[in-house]
Amino acid sequence: MHTTALVLFSGGQDSTTCLAHALAAYQRVETIAFDYRQRHSVELDARLNVLQEIRRQYPQWAHKLGEDHLLDLAVLGSVSETSLTRDVAFKMEASGLPNTFVPGRNLLFLTLAAALAYRRDLQVIVTGVCETDFSGYPDCRDDTMKAMQLALSLGMDKRFLIETPLMWIDKAATWRLAKSLGGKALVDLIIEHTHTCYLGDRTHRHAWGYGCGECPACELRARGYERFVQEDAQV
Ligand code: ZN
């Protein structure tokens, strides 16, 4: 029986939905994020605001929500050259992967998360990776997660469960999951306080939240929200 969890929490829509999932399912939940010198620190600010709002608006969750951990991963910025860490435009590479792909990033995140989970005695590692996403990052695939779960459990001699609530659902379903976990208030909280835009734009406010409205992350979030609202009106 699992009662404790560590959520990889970046302050975006997906990881906020994962955090709500963990708070609904487990008794003690901690959060972790990594600072690898992203082009903007907007996400890092967003995550603190989201945590604060969850504590304020959800007293039934607030007492379960424990420590937040921010790990410095500057080294990742020094080995990778991508549009998330360097000032280059987002595009698809010949490999079929977007140039936002940071090789091994998620493997490193999970390894560090497991090391922390070991120390903090947390059983479940929750991450918002998704195979239905446009990006097709190989380190977000279900097989990779299963392999990591096995490697980390063997390598640390401790049974970890890697949980991926968003693996097979699309962005509209992610909004729907948020609503089922925390009602309309959680949907509103995600719109207002989470951040997804690759460009770090917090000046343009749309029905689905803040962002440039044009980068692939904004487009995905906007399209998902539109479909969620349409489907939600029919039930
Ligand atoms: Zn954007």
pLDDT digits (tens, 9 = 90+) for 195-205: 999 889 999 99
State the average pLDDT for the chain: 90
Residue 216 has pLDDT above 60, yes or no: yes
Provide the residue ranges of all domains of the chain, joining segments of one domain with +: 4-234
What pLDDT, on a 0 to 100 scale, did the predictor assign at position 85? 55
Mean pLDDT of 150-174: 97
Task: Tell how far the Cα of 115 is from the centroid of ligand 1, in angstroms.
Answer: 33
Task: Tell how far the Cα of 41 is from the centroid of ligand 1, in angstroms.
Answer: 14
Question: What separation, in Å, do the N-terminal and C-terminal C-alpha atoms of the chain show?
Answer: 34
pTM for the model stands at 0.91
C-alpha dihedral sign at 33, 59, 174, 141: positive
Task: Tell how far the Cα of 207 is from the centroid of ligand 1, in angstroms.
Answer: 14
What pLDDT, on a 0 to 100 scale, did the predictor assign at position 40? 65
Task: Tell how far the Cα of 221 is from the centroid of ligand 1, in angstroms.
Answer: 9
Task: Tell how far the Cα of 202 is from the centroid of ligand 1, in angstroms.
Answer: 9
Residue, of 177 and 235, whose pLDDT is higher: 177
What pLDDT, on a 0 to 100 scale, did the predictor assign at position 234? 86
Task: Tell how far the Cα of 46 is from the centroid of ligand 1, in angstroms.
Answer: 15
Task: Tell how far the Cα of 197 is from the centroid of ligand 1, in angstroms.
Answer: 4
Task: Tell how far the Cα of 198 is from the centroid of ligand 1, in angstroms.
Answer: 5
Residue 64 has pLDDT above 60, yes or no: yes
What pLDDT, on a 0 to 100 scale, did the predictor assign at position 84? 54
Residue 134 has pLDDT above 80, yes or no: no
Task: Tell how far the Cα of 11 is from the centroid of ligand 1, in angstroms.
Answer: 15
Give which of 128, 31, 42 is closest to 71, Cα–Cα.
31
Q: Is residue 194 packed enough to be buried (19+ CB in 10 Å), middle (13-18) or exposed (0-12)?
A: buried
- Provide CATH code, domain 4-234: 3.40.50.620
What are the tens digits of pLDDT across the range 143-160? 999 999 999 999 999 999
